[in-house]
Amino acid sequence: MLLTVSGPPGSGKSTTAELLADAFDLDHVSGGDIFRELADERGYTPLEFNKLAEENDQIDRDLDRRLREIATEDDDLVLESRLAGWLAGDHADFRFWLDAPAAVRGERIAERESKDPERATEETKAREASEAQRYREYYGIDIRDLTIYDLSVNTARWEPDAVLDMLVTAVGEYDADGDEGKTPVTGVDYEF
């Protein structure tokens, strides 16, 4: 089974994906971890590396190619990244989108990275705008188009365990006989 968890920075993707992987005894692959490792290896903060990616499209393309390969070749995993649902495409059994208001996400990031919440929120907004532009330019993806997702959850409204319960219920209650068709992922240029 391939589950994807997508959403903007600070939406709870990593927390939820880890819990979801544990709940179904699946491996967990995090695009954010891979991106941060690449940034650290090169001596950049994630924000600096993100800015560098604006000038060097190979950074995004290498990361996204790897995530696409994982999604198309591996199974029994939770794939987590902003583009996981798009990159996995029709290979995913379920695609989940998590979100929360920008101020909430900024607070979460500030706590995680020990920085000022207002600064974290502004940096996150800048990062999101930059990434959205690149996703559209590189792959024809409108990250704001949530129609490909099976379930979208505002994680500011529930605690992580409650969010997990929703996703586990969605997967557990799935009945293939009653499935009238998941939304296909179309119009994406997978040329990395």
Binding residues for ATP: 7-15
The answer to whether residues 104 and 87 touch, using CB atoms and an 8 Å cutoff, is no
- Residues annotated as binding site? 7-15
For residue 59, the Cα-to-chain-centroid distance in whole angstroms is 17
Rg (CA), the chain: 16
Cα–Cα distance for residue pair 184/90, rounded to 1 Å: 6
Cα–Cα distance for residue pair 86/46, rounded to 1 Å: 22
Alpha helices per DSSP H over 56-116: 57-73, 84-88, 102-113
